[in-house]
A and B are shown apart, each in its own frame.
Chain A
């Protein structure tokens, strides 16, 4: 257990580790390792991160609170974007665009998602790029090779996605040319591409979040990012509501289309929409929760200032 107790301790926030790290590491060293034990420690780490100030009595400083909120909203946004790409891929088919032209609710919901997605992207860029540049500058100045390595993850993930996508397209086109229709192998290639996209998004957002968390970034930049963070969270909530209206509108107005196989890679439309909506809903809820959780502390700090 000695080997992994160091890594397990990293799951807990710094303030918690300052108080309990030694004795907790001693306890981990005494316990025989098992999957159940690791899962229990994972849950304990999550609980400590969510309730750190309640457990340790230490109030996190404003920069730390803003940082954790910005990171939570960014990660939620990446999950939302992955689901949104699924929605975009599904709704671009002719049948769905035609339904949007005939039924105002479906068309309005679709257009609202497109417009608000643009607003959210601008907000993420406005708030996130200065933080990423500051983290990169800090890593270069401090010669933090671990942080610099984290910044290569999104670049490598994007390169892998493009290379695999290009190769998959070539293989799928060859298969289609031979059989005249989309082949099962082509569908599998598409699904594997989706899997790479999802894994790449998870790895990239985790790496960038970790890089920002490990960097010395001034509170001023986090304060600057606060408005884009709130805008992003609100935009996600609006897009989730619009996606819900789009699916329910389609179900009511075009039941045959909704019950068909127009989903991702020829899967059920209803199932694809449900999965996308569920991910969007969870992501929006996480982002809003992160923003709301930060606001009382912000008010207290403003009063003290």
Chain B
């Protein structure tokens, strides 16, 4: 199981958004799309969402819960939480460096 998202190609950004959304609690597909749109302004299409969900599930970063009617919620695993934490810390360091440089201008 790999916690690295960088080799997911065009699915790495949607994957990060999904992990961040699930960090707030288990959600099914449509709830994730709405939550991600509120959180980031980006609205994922169903094809992109399930392309990323399938990859995250295969890597053990998320896991499915029993379906509620036809909608299946997903939740973050321990490995997924670690991957998200690592990615967000990297982004925080990157943002801090960028802001430091901007402050010097």
A binding-site residues for B, Cβ under 8 Å: 16, 19-20, 22-28, 30-31, 36-37, 39-45, 47-48, 54-57
A/B interface sample: 23 pairs, CB < 8 A? A22-B72, A23-B28, A23-B72, A24-B50, A25-B70, A26-B69, A26-B70, A26-B71, A27-B28, A27-B33, A30-B29, A31-B30, A40-B45, A40-B46, A40-B47, A40-B48, A41-B45, A42-B47, A48-B51, A55-B51, A55-B55, A56-B58, A57-B58
By a beta-carbon cutoff of 8 Å, the part of chain B in contact with chain A is 28-30, 33, 45-51, 54-55, 58, 67, 69-72
| Assembly CA distance A26 to B70 (angstroms) | 6
Instruction: Please name all residues of chain A whose beta carbon is closer than 8 Å to the beta carbon of B67 when the two chains form the complex.
Output: 22-23
- Decide if the interface of chain B is mainly helix, strand, loop or mixed: helix
* Residues of chain B with a CB closer than 8 A to A26's CB: 28-30, 69-71
Min distance, Cβ A56 to any Cβ of chain B, angstroms = 7
User: Please, how many angstroms separate the alpha-carbon atoms of A57 and B59 in the complex?
Assistant: 10
| B45-A36 in contact (CB<8A) | yes
Q: Which of A22, A30, A41 is packed against the most chain B CB atoms within 10 Å?
A: A30
Query: 14 extra interchain contacts, Cβ-Cβ under 8 A, other than A16-B54, A22-B70, A55-B55?
Result: A22-B72, A23-B29, A23-B71, A24-B46, A26-B29, A26-B71, A27-B33, A31-B33, A37-B45, A37-B46, A42-B47, A43-B47, A43-B48, A55-B58
| Nearest neighbor of B46 in chain A, beta-carbon distance | A27
Q: Which residue of A lies closest to B43 (CB)?
A: A36
A23 to B33, alpha carbons, bound, how many Å? 14
Closest partner residue, chain B, to A27 (CB atom): B29
A56's partner among B45, B49, B54 (CB-CB below 8 A) is B54
Give the distance in Å from the alpha carbon of A36 to the alpha carbon of B44 in the complex: 11
**Residues on the A chain within 8 Å of B45, using CB:** 36-37, 39-41, 44
Task: Give A37 to B44 CA distance when docked, in angstroms.
Answer: 9
Roughly how many angstroms separate A23 CA and B50 CA in the complex, as a whole number?
A: 10
A16 to chain B, nearest CB (A): 8
| B63 CB to nearest A CB, Å | 13
Please measure, in the bound complex, the distance between the C-alpha atom of A24 and the C-alpha atom of B67, giving whole angstroms: 12
Name the distance in Å between A173's Cβ and chain B's nearest Cβ: 51
Q: In the complex, how many angstroms separate the beta carbon of A202 from the nearest chain B beta carbon?
A: 23
**A20–B54 contact, CB under 8 A?**
yes
A54-B70 Cα distance, complex, nearest whole Å: 24
A41 to B46, Cβ gap below 8 A? yes
Contacts of A41 in B (CB 8 A): 45-47
Is A23 a contact of B55 with CB atoms below 8 Å? no
* CB–CB B47/A45 < 8 A: yes
Minimum distance in angstroms from A295 CB to a CB of chain B: 23
- When the two chains form the complex, which single residue of B48, B58, B69, B71 contacts A54, counting CB atoms closer than 8 Å? B58
A44 to chain B: which residues have CB within 8 Å? 45-48, 50-51
Smallest beta-carbon distance A36→chain B, Å: 7
Report how far A41 CA is from B50 CA in the complex, Å. Answer: 9
Cβ-defined contact, A23 with B70, below 8 A: yes
CB-defined contacts of B72 to chain A, threshold 8 Å: 22-23
Residues of B within 8 A of A39 (CB): 45
| Chain A residue with Cβ nearest B47 | A44
